[in-house]
């Protein structure tokens, strides 16, 4: 029985690793566009060395300042609607409805939305 579960676990791990590689590659590609890659204030910004290791252009990454008035969701919406971002990374703290709205708004404005829990695991 141990042998039966091992291949599926290996497959799941390989699939998950493949998804993380795709995610980082996608962010790297987006960082080579003529637009910004934003990280909200609620996300720790990865070290420049780590970004460079994954071929993510550091000069295109902007860590947004915290807002005294707007929520992370509102800041992300404004960043997307500014048409200056090819991608935005937000924390996983948002509820599912807000995440869906960000993804829809991002698609409408050609801005890829990443959630920290997915990206963080990919970069580390």
Stretch among 6-15, 30-39, 66-75, 82-91 having the lowest mean pLDDT: 6-15
The CATH number given to whatever domain includes residue 80 is 3.40.50.300
Cα atoms in the 13 Å half-sphere on the side-chain side of 86: 16
User: To the nearest whole number, what is the mean pLDDT of the chain?
Assistant: 82
> Domain tally for the chain?
1
Hey, is 117 helix, strand or coil? helix
Output the six-digit token pair for 30: 């987006």
C-alpha of 74 from chain center:
17
Write out the residue range of the structural domain in which residue 77 sits: 2-123
Do 66 and 41 meet the contact criterion of CB atoms below 8 Å apart? yes
Angle in degrees, CA 57, 26, 84, rounded to 5: 60
* CB atoms inside a 10 Å sphere around CB 45: 15
């Amino acid at each position: 029985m141990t042998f039966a579960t091992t291949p599926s676990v290996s497959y799941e791990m390989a699939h998950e690793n493949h998804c993380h590689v795709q995610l980082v590659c996608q962010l790297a590609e987006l960082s080579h566009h003529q637009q910004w890659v934003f990280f909200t204030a609620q996300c720790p910004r990865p070290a420049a060395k780590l970004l460079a290791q994954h071929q993510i252009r550091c000069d295109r990454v902007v860590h947004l300042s915290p807002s005294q008035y707007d929520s992370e969701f509102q800041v992300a919406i404004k960043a997307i609607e500014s048409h200056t971002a090819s991608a935005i990374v937000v924390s996983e703290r948002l509820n599912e409805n807000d995440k869906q709205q960000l993804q829809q708004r991002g698609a409408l404005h050609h801005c890829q939305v990443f959630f920290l829990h997915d990206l963080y695991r990919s970069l580390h």
